[in-house]
Amino acid sequence: MGVNMTGSFTSHVTDMHLEALLALLVEGPEEWLERYGETIKNENNVGYSLLIYHAFNEALRLRFSPTYTVPQIIRFVADLRLTLKEYAHELDPRVAESLIRYSLGDDAFTGRPPFGTDEVTVMRAQLLMLVALVSEEELDEAELVKLVKDSAALARNRGVVEQGQDSGV
Amino acid sequence: MPITDNQIATLRAQLAGRMDEHERLLDQLDTEESQTGYIALVTAAFFEAVDRRFIVNDKVVDDAEVIEFIAYQRSAHPVAAEQMDPTVAEQVVLHALGKGSISQDVDGETLLGTKILLLAALTAEADLSESELESFLAKARAEADEHIG
């Protein structure tokens, strides 16, 4: 995982991360796996995870803004799992609902990531829902590029803020 | 010790939606033996209700039907949405149908609470008449007696 030579985490979103996420959303998981799978798996950087987190948040807002209800979230997760058919168990419904409510800032929800599970389960839920959300919203390639670039800008800004806080600036 | 009329009355009150009476009767089950018997009765009723809902023409329905049932119940009832963990609920129903297992992380209290919520949802959906409810309770009682006997 993203630990550098000094032993601290690196969370820098690179241009390769942007290209990889775009490849996933535009061309699909097989293309992503072939071109970026091994590189991202082996790299010393959690920037790609950070980018996915922000892209998921952006996509969520397309679907659940300006208002939403908990039943709508339950329905969204259930419908997505039904489309996964025999792979429905790959998306844990409690984790998926928790992720959505946490990301939307639901005041009535008190759970915090990773919601009593592991990071891999959370990441898988984010990815499955991100792909479903952009597909449901029928974003074209230009809109996907904008979503990914906006997400990268948010991720990079957050990195700067965190770095500033870490160094006492 | 066989299932008692008091234990049956406690479950009947719950399934008929008479919650004050249910809680009063539940408080009277104050010995370990009576509580163990009540859990056996609830469990037997739960298995019977699951079989009636999810076995059609001697065939267990697809997992999708279970996902849909739990999502529908949770989205229709906000209290159930908060109290019923969908992951646990699906595991409990599928396990009762002989499909899959329940995670070892699930404690006994959560397991029983989930069965009670699901049982209430299943019987509410079945919309049993008074005589059908009596027949359902008699079946659950016989199965629980067999289990604890």
On whether residue A81 sits in a domain, the answer given is: yes
Q: Which residues contact A123 (CB under 8 A, 6 or more apart)?
A: A49, A52
State the smallest CA–CA distance between residue A114 and chain B in angstroms. 15
Q: Measure the CA–CA gap between B31 and B79, rounded to whole angstroms.
A: 30
Task: Judge whether A45 lies within some domain.
Answer: yes
Q: Quickly state the pLDDT bin for A45 (edges 50, 70, 90).
A: confident
Specify if A6 maps to a domain: no
Say if CB B140 and CB B44 are below 8 A apart.
yes
Answer yes or no: is A2 within a domain: no
Asked if A98 contacts A111 with a C-beta cutoff of 8 angstroms, the reply is yes
- Could you tell me if residue A101 is inside a domain? yes
Set of chain A residues whose Cβ sits within 8 Å of the Cβ of B85: 94
Task: Suggest the residue from A73, A89, A92, A109 to mutate for an interface test with chain B (most B CBs closer than 10 A).
Answer: A89
- Pick among A72, A82, A98, A109 to test the B interface (most B CBs inside 10 A): A82
B 66-95 → A contacts, CB under 8 A = 67-68, 70-71, 74-76, 78, 81, 85-88, 90
- State the Cα–Cα distance between residues A1 and A11, nearest whole angstrom: 10
- Is the ipTM higher than 0.95? The answer is no
Range of the domain at A107: 15-166
Q: Which residues of A touch B86 (CB under 8 A)?
A: 74, 77, 93-94, 97
Count of domains observed in chain B:
1
Range of the domain at B34: 5-148
Q: Is residue A5 part of a domain?
A: no
User: Is the full-model pTM beyond 0.80?
Assistant: yes
Our count of domains for chain A comes to 1
CB A59 within 8 A of CB A51: no
pLDDT per position in chain B (149 positions), as tens?
899 999 999 999 999 989 999 999 999 999 999 999 999 999 999 999 999 999 999 999 999 999 999 999 999 998 889 999 999 999 999 999 999 999 999 999 999 999 999 999 999 999 999 999 999 999 999 999 998 87
Q: Which of residues 95-114 of A touch B (CB under 8 A)?
A: 95, 97
